Structure 1
Amino acid sequence: MVDSQLQESLGPLAAGTVLSDRVFETVSDAIVSGRIPGGQQVSDKSIAEALGISRTPVREALQRLAWLGLVEVSPNRYTRVTEVTDEMVSSTLEYTGMQAGMALQLAMRRMDDAALQEAVAMLDRMIAASDADDADDLMLAARMFVGFLTRESGNRLFATVMHESSLLVARNLRQSSTLIGTATFRGECYRQMRAAMLIRDADAAELWFRRQHGVGAGALSV
Structure 2
Amino acid sequence: METLRPLPRTLLRDRAYAAIRDAIVAGEIEPGAVVRDADLAERLGLSRAPVREAFARLVDEGLLESKPQSYTRVTPLVAADVRDAAAVVGAMHELVTRVAVPRLRDADLEEMRAANDRFATAVHTGDVDEALRADDELHDVLVRVSGNRAAAATVARYTPLIRRLERQRFGEGGSCRSAGLHERLIEACADGDTDGAVRITADIWRTLADLADPD
Q: What is the percent sequence identity of the aligned residues?
A: 34
Q: Secondary structure at the match of 1:83?
A: coil
Q: CA deviation at 1:203?
A: 2.3
Distance in 1 (alpha carbons) for counterparts of 2:45 and 2:153: 29
> Match for 1:214: what amino acid?
R
Structure 2: 5+ residue runs without aligned partners? 208-213
* Aligned residue among 115, 135, 144 for 1:142: 135
Structure 1 residues 80-89 or 136-145, which shifts more?
Answer: 136-145
1:173: which partner in 2?
166
1:36-79 CA distance string (max 9 Å, x none): 11111012233334445433222211101111111001111110
1:69-115 CA distance string (max 9 Å, x none): 11001111110011213334444444443333233223223222321
> Match for 2:76: what amino acid?
E
Q: Contact 1:150/1:162 (CA < 8 Å) preserved in 2?
A: no
Distance in 2 (alpha carbons) for counterparts of 1:192 and 1:19: 41
Give the TM-score of the pair, scaled to structure 1: 0.71
Q: Per the alignment, do residues 102 and 90 of structure 1 end up closer, same or farther by CA in structure 2, a change over 3 Å counting? A: same
| Residues 1:48 and 2:41 are matched in the alignment | yes
Q: Contact 2:16/2:54 (CA < 8 Å) preserved in 1?
A: yes
1:203: which partner in 2?
195
**Greater RCO (CA < 8 Å, at least 6 residues apart):** 2
Distance in 2 (alpha carbons) for counterparts of 1:38 and 1:156: 30
Give the TM-score of the pair, scaled to structure 2: 0.73
Query: How many residues of Structure 1 are paired with residues of Structure 2 in the alignment?
Result: 204
Structure 1: 5+ residue runs without aligned partners? 1-7, 216-221
CA RMSD of aligned residues (A): 3.6
Larger Rg: 1
Distance in 2 (alpha carbons) for counterparts of 1:158 and 1:114: 22
Q: CA deviation at 1:29?
A: 2.2
Distance in 2 (alpha carbons) for counterparts of 1:52 and 1:129: 32
Distance in 2 (alpha carbons) for counterparts of 1:52 and 1:117: 40
1:70: which partner in 2?
63
